[in-house]
Amino acid sequence: MKFFLDTANVDEITELASTGLVDGITTNPSLIAASGRNMIEVIKEITGLVDGPVSAEVTATDYDNMVAEGRLLKQIAKNVAVKVPLTFDGLKACKTLADEGTSVNVTLCFSATQALLAAKAGATFISPFAGRLDDIGGVGMELISDIIEVYSNYDFKTEVLVASVRGPLHVLQAARMGADIATVPAAVIKALYKHPLTDKGLEAFISDWEKTGQSILEK
Ligand code: E4P
């Protein structure tokens, strides 16, 4: 499973990309606003920090302007994926941009039928929002499972990008379902590797090692 980092914060991206575990980045207008940066400038900088896709979202809501914005965002760097919302105009824009060879991430997906249409429109990625469904009493991961089942029935190339991930359990469930990608906030990535027994065990190993007076690097 690929991991995308869900942030427009270049410090977080720089720190976590150094692990080699970050396969791409997703942003949205709220994340750009939180960065306090100019969108074009920050997307350009991010595209230089990772090799994988960097999602940059259009903010127009009508077809003509979504396509115009998408074409402009695509010019920033070759690894930009244009993000469009899952609306009537967004699906049309997806089809147009995809037909031009642009990688398109269709976002704000909350049903499997929406995901089906995005795949038919040529989306490279579909972004179902697990956490936001949980927030209103739904079961977000059931949506992911439904989309994977529907896509597996056909020859769709669209990758399932699990979004609105709130914690390690979402990541584990996504991996068990075979989702292609999870886009994860930095805090959740860190929560994936932290374990109190790892810390406790390491403390004991180091303490015992120090008693030996040895050093592996000592000549
Ligand atoms: C990413 O593509 C989505 O915009 C993001 O995961 C939404 O997450 P949120 O529901 O925590 O805002």
**83 is known as an active-site residue:** yes
* C-alpha of residue 188 to centroid of ligand 1, in Å: 13
For 40-73, the DSSP string reads HHHHHHHHHH-SS-EEEE----SHHHHHHHHHHH
What's the whole-number mean pLDDT along residues 186-200? 95
**DSSP at 153:** T
Give 5's pLDDT tier (boundaries 50, 70, 90). very high
Residues 6+ apart with CB under 8 A from 75: none
pLDDT at 218: 83
Give 155's pLDDT tier (boundaries 50, 70, 90). confident
Summary mean pLDDT of the chain: 97
pLDDT at 145: 98
Task: Kindly report the pTM of this predicted structure.
Answer: 0.96
What's the whole-number mean pLDDT along residues 66-70? 98
* C-alpha of residue 55 to centroid of ligand 1, in Å: 12
pLDDT at 84: 98
Options 2, 44, 74, 83, the catalytic residue: 83
pLDDT at 193: 93
Residue 199: pLDDT above 90? yes
pLDDT of 83-100, one tens digit each?
Answer: 999 999 999 999 999 999
Nearest CA, atom 6, ligand 1:
164
Residues 6+ apart with CB under 8 A from 163: 6, 26, 107, 127, 128, 129, 130, 183
pLDDT of 44-53, one tens digit each?
Answer: 999 999 999 9
Give dist(CA 167, CA 161) in Å, integer.
Answer: 15
What's the whole-number mean pLDDT along residues 168-172? 98
Percent of the chain residues topping a pLDDT of 70: 100
Chain position carrying tokens 């056909």: 154
Domains (ranges, CATH) in the chain? 2-194 (3.20.20.70)
